[in-house]
Amino acid sequence: MAVTGIGLVSPVGTSAAEVFDAACEGRSGAVRPGEDHPLHGLVDVVAFSPEIEATSVLPATEARFVDRAIVMALRAAEDALADAGLEVGRNVAPDRIAIVVSGVGGLGLLEEQVLQYGRKGRLGVSPYLMPGVLPNMAAARIAIKFGIQGYTSSVGTACAAGAQSVGEALRILRADEADVVLAGCSEAPLFPTFAAAFGNARALAHGWAEPTDASRPFDRRRNGLVLGEGAGILVLERPEHARARGARRYADVLGWAATNDAYHPTTPRPDGSAAARCMSQALRDAGLAPGDIGYLNAHGTSTKAGDAAELLAIRTVYGGPDTPPVSSTKGVTGHMLGASGVIEAAIGILAMQRGLLPPTHNLEDPDPDTEVDHIRKAARPAQVQAVLSNSFGFGGHNVSLVLGNPGPDPGAEKSTA
């Protein structure tokens, strides 16, 4: 199925080109929270996305009690639809466009309202709290804003949710339940309680002289992730629908798979076996062999256990260190939780378009026990026809996407004859 539109909000840019250039050039979005920020003293390093005024995507009467995650999702959806040249009711029927947009929901706004309850009691809590924070509300708000009346849902698979949303979109299109699907995720976890929980779990990078050094996937000195925020939405479209309206095709989503470690709520299965099975199943779904993949965008969060397990999984699929070129672009973006998978899919798409593979930023001394073909220090020129993108989440959720370079449209001559 064709990818015809991309909308992104990230710590390193708000377009696919900006994000891809930052990944290739090693321009990190990691910073230290300012002294006046609520996260100051709780975390060493974070990755903020640009501020978006809620009134730029919602009426002023509705903008006050809407979480930042919903605002970012609306901006990404608006940009993705514009990028695809789609207008609901004009070139796609309202009931033939679906939405699968995920995220943990508006926990920052919920925290704020809990504090209000503590200060003022019942009357301090907004009656608009629930529609401002529920996990389905990013998808619902997109439907309301654009008049989309088809299948609408959200996925709750933690850091795998964005990638799984793209996979579910592929399932919907294959079943002919829609002509177009908006698929993605939006996450805004940079508020005190959430950050404190990650810090107390010793999952966050710390002790680095420069914040841009902190996120270092697969590096021997890695000591935790950099928590980030962002949103990504892709427009997926049935090829014949895209062809009929003369749409540009960025790439094709060829296949996907989802598995579960069935091991631990937060720690991945150490041998990476379920993740390896996920990658293999995604390749089979796409009708490709492991050797057909020209670039692998890894989940690679910069944690000790997670990175090691993923590298073992990659080696399992390829039977050793002779793998496709591998990198994790979280070295520049930080870990945007479920939104990472969509933004990384966009990076994979640009890698195929430009013939350039982004490196893993800060990868100076690769973990020697899990050797693969790491892309280090500089972007690597390569003509790539297929990309594998991994996303793994708490609860043992594994999702792999296979993206393909669309090349010539086999139906183009017939459609223009």
Catalytic machinery residues: 159, 299, 335
CA distance 235 to 76: 11
- Fill in the amino acid letter for 47: A
CA distance 213 to 211: 5
Query: Minimal CA–CA distance to 162: which of 8, 387, 274?
Result: 8
SS3 256: strand
CA distance 171 to 258: 12
CA distance 142 to 74: 6
Strand partners, 5: 235
Dihedral sign, CA of 78, 17, 298, 296?
positive
**Residue pair 266/394 in contact by the 8 Å Cβ criterion:** yes
SS3 291: helix
417 alpha carbon, distance to own chain's centre: 39
HSE at residue 396, side-chain half, CA atoms within 13 A, is 14
Residues 6+ apart with CB under 8 A from 410: none
